[in-house]
Amino acid sequence: MIRIGIVGGTGYTGVELLRLLAQHPQAQLCAITSRKEAGMPVAQMYPSLRGRVSLAFCDPADAALGSCDVVFFATPHGVAMAQARELLAAGVKLIDLAADFRLKDTAEFERWYKMPHSCPDLLAEAVYGLPEVNREAIRKARLIGLPGCYPTSVQLGLLPLLEPAAGDLIDPMTLIADCKSGVSGAGRKAEVHTLLAEAGDNFKAYGVEGHRHLPEIVQGLRAIAGRPVELAFTPHLVPMIRGIHSTIYARIRPQARNTDFQALFERRFADEPFVDVMPPGSTPETRSVRASNMVRIAVHRPQGGDLLVILVVEDNLVKGASGQAVQVMNLICGLPETTGLTQLPVLP
């Protein structure tokens, strides 16, 4: 069994980790921390876990995290890097669901997250936890910076087009990602913009001048392509709880006009257990992936022109966060990648 600790188990990604790990055949939950809720049974806060999670939240100072095999950080930015050295020294493998180990450039991190990075030397070791790109590196890693929810959908949507093996198919300098997220992406905290009366029956863009996921997406796309990439990224808030829908636009190069892009995507993702390339003409819905670790992708070329439109849907709390974290845990612990992650989407 894999002994697991979760730092910050009271938020949406924390409870999603608990839901998935409570059903994982090789997972043993050993510690779940929360300063504010220390002593409260987890199932008292989340009755959905009654009968499956018997632990109570404990203060981080009292948690025996050093005796765990894997520790997940489902915390605000800045928490994981404050504890990383001590836990790594104890032989613990770390999976951070926040941004502490996503960006390789400390100046970029400090610009977007408004805090100094306390262990920049560990960034060189940290592996970016997108299995479809970094699977082999993840298997050998002890420190994972898990991708954000938007970056997961955009990078997977563009992956087959930008890999060097695909050739020069699209213009990498004029990419556009028009992305929408449910309200749970903002986290479990009291803020005016996520109130029902504010978010319900409403639709709006945010972060148009710059969003902290932009440098992460561009860093990932440049690593995939091995060349410069530029992206216009606009996120939107939609009145639903879960789900991300990304509509991605790429300009086709003249020499690639005869490319069968549907076949290209099908070949690239044929062996990926959590990426489903939909049949031609499909328009995937967010509810088709709700509560699952699946990403669904559809490829369109309107009127057979020179603009490629890629539609990507995922559950922001599962493949966009906690499910991908469990997928990564399976890899670093030598388990089949799909272990504990075969739940079907919830419909309606």
- Three-state SS at 220: helix
Q: For residues 322 and 16, is the Cβ–Cβ distance under 8 A?
A: yes
- Three-state SS at 116: coil
As annotated, the active-site residues are 149
Report how far residue 98's alpha carbon sits from residue 117's, in angstroms, rounded to the nearest whole number.
13
Q: For residues 195 and 250, is the Cβ–Cβ distance under 8 A?
A: no
Instruction: Kindly tell me the burial class for residue 239, based on how many C-beta atoms sit within 10 Å of its own C-beta (0-12, 13-18, 19 or more).
Output: middle
Report how far residue 98's alpha carbon sits from residue 35's, in angstroms, rounded to the nearest whole number.
18
AA letter at 188: R
Report how far residue 104's alpha carbon sits from residue 200's, in angstroms, rounded to the nearest whole number.
37
Report how far residue 160's alpha carbon sits from residue 169's, in angstroms, rounded to the nearest whole number.
10
Instruction: Kindly tell me the burial class for residue 86, based on how many C-beta atoms sit within 10 Å of its own C-beta (0-12, 13-18, 19 or more).
Output: exposed
* Residue 169, φ and ψ in degrees, nearest 5: -90, -35
Record the tokens describing residue 155, joined without a space. 């990078």
Helix (H) or strand (E) holding 298: strand 295-300
Give 305's contacts (C-beta < 8 A, 6+ positions apart). none
